[in-house]
Amino acid sequence: MVALPPSASLTVDAIYAAYEAAADHGYREHLGASLIGTECERALWYSFRWATRARHTGRLLRLFDTGHLAEARFVADLRRIGVTVLDLDPATGRQWNLRDASGHFGGSMDAVAIGFPEAPKAWHVCEFKTHSAKSFAKLKAEGVASSKPLHWAQMQAYMQLADLDRAFYLAVCKDTDELYQERIRHDAEAGLRILAKAERIIAAARPPARISEDPAWWQCRFCDHHAVCHGGAVPERHCRSCLHATPVADGAWHCARHPCVLLRRDQQAGCGLHLYIPNLIAAEQIDAGEDWVSYRLPDGSPWRDGATPIPDTQERADAA
Ligand code: SF4
Ligand code: SF4
């Protein structure tokens, strides 16, 4: 085989690598308002239970950072025309952090603001977004609710949680720097539906129904959890994939086996008594005892969780 030539972009590679090295663990602490508009509740449950670790390339991480950097410019633009913008929560001096009653659902608002020329006396939730030219054209043609339903649901969630009646969506086209604005009214019914959806997902001990049983369904093809949901992939061992863990009040997690409250770092580490939530294993559960659950794998071979790691397909073939 001919050896590949060394990369011609060592500096760029190093920059991307630095982003990757600084990236977080790829698991989100809470059920995020930015995703709650996702139609498939199973996908949201998988995210909440850390079924798939998010791994992004350095280039993509830098792109996310570009979006964050744009927020300061949006704030400066609004202040320049006399809008009062609170990008930090005056009570904490930190980013606005909204949570529902359980503490497990919410997100970070970009800002709240008052003094917009269209409605000078109303406080607004602010959401700032950057768009590609194609996405921006669709946004202008159809509006937020139709072209970006996840953004619309995110703002409804924030208005519901912040008890505000209006949101201001300010977007920029990354290619031309053209701006787009839209004021969004609070839809109380939608807000309550969103909170109820979040509550259902948080309380669910097992994955909700699939949006489609067809792995080639368009939403499934773009889903981060496709491999776990349709492909039989097994999530990593951590407390969120363990049948002993339950989300409890104030955004905390509890282990029934030890029993104790689980700190974030404990949840990531898990422990030797981890047992998978049976619905995360693509196999038939046949028996269970203290600290073990046994399964029949799709090829008919038995596997006992709690005693051995799940064998991969090749190992099973070798053993047959
Ligand atoms: S693969 Fe499809 S059914 Fe499964 S979680 Fe994703 S969107 Fe839902
Ligand atoms: S048994 Fe271990 S892995 Fe399971 S929830 Fe408790 S601490 Fe986490």
Q: Is the CB of 247 under 6 A from ligand 2?
A: no
Number of H helices, E strands in the chain: 11, 14
**Tens digits of residue pLDDT in 129-170:** 999 999 999 999 999 999 999 999 999 999 999 999 999 999
- For the CA of 225, the nearest atom of ligand 1: 6
C-beta of 245 in contact with ligand 2 (< 6 A): yes
Kindly give the pairing relationship between strand 245-248 and strand 252-255. antiparallel
**What pLDDT does residue 183 have?**
98
List the one residue out of 159, 164, 158, 139 whose CA is nearest residue 149. 139
Distance of alpha carbon 190 from the chain centroid:
20
pLDDT, residue 250, reads 97
Looking at the chain, how many residues does it have?
A: 320
Among 241, 265, 273, residue to substitute to test ligand 2 (most atoms within 8 Å of Cβ): 273
Going by the DSSP 8-state scheme, the letter that residue 154 receives in this structure is H
List the residue whose alpha carbon is closest to atom 5 of ligand 1: 43
List of domains in the chain: 14-203 (3.90.320.10), 236-319 (no CATH)
pLDDT value at 317 more than 80? no
pLDDT tens digits, one per residue of 265-290: 999 999 999 999 999 999 999 999 99
Q: Which ligand is nearest to the CA of 46?
A: 1
- CB of 242 sitting under 6 A from ligand 2: yes
> Which pLDDT score is estimated for 316?
39
Average pLDDT over residues 112-116: 98
Query: What is the whole-number distance in angstroms between the Cα of residue 212 and the centre of ligand 1?
Result: 7
Check: CB of residue 183 under 8 Å from CB of residue 119: yes
pLDDT tens digits, 198-218: 999 999 999 999 999 999 999
- Whether pTM > 0.75 for this model: the answer is yes
Task: Give the integer Cα–Cα distance in Å for 41 and 64.
Answer: 25
User: What stretches of the chain adopt beta strand conformation (E)?
Assistant: 31-32, 84-86, 98-99, 105-107, 111-114, 124-131, 166-173, 179-185, 245-248, 252-255, 260-262, 284-289, 292-296, 302-305
Query: How many angstroms does the Cα of residue 37 sit away from the middle of ligand 1?
Result: 14
The pLDDT value recorded for residue 314 is 46
Ligand 1 first shell, C-beta below 6 A: 40, 42-43, 46, 210-212, 219-220, 223, 225-226, 229-230
pLDDT at 55: 87
Q: How far is the CA of 180 from the centre of ligand 1 (A)?
A: 32
Cβ distance 189 to 159 under 8 Å?
no
What rounded mean pLDDT belongs to the chain? Answer: 94
Taking the centre of ligand 2 as the mean of its atom positions, its distance from the CA of residue 69, in whole angstroms, is 38
**Is residue 98 predicted with pLDDT exceeding 70?**
yes
**Confidence label for 319 from pLDDT (cuts 50, 70 and 90):** very low
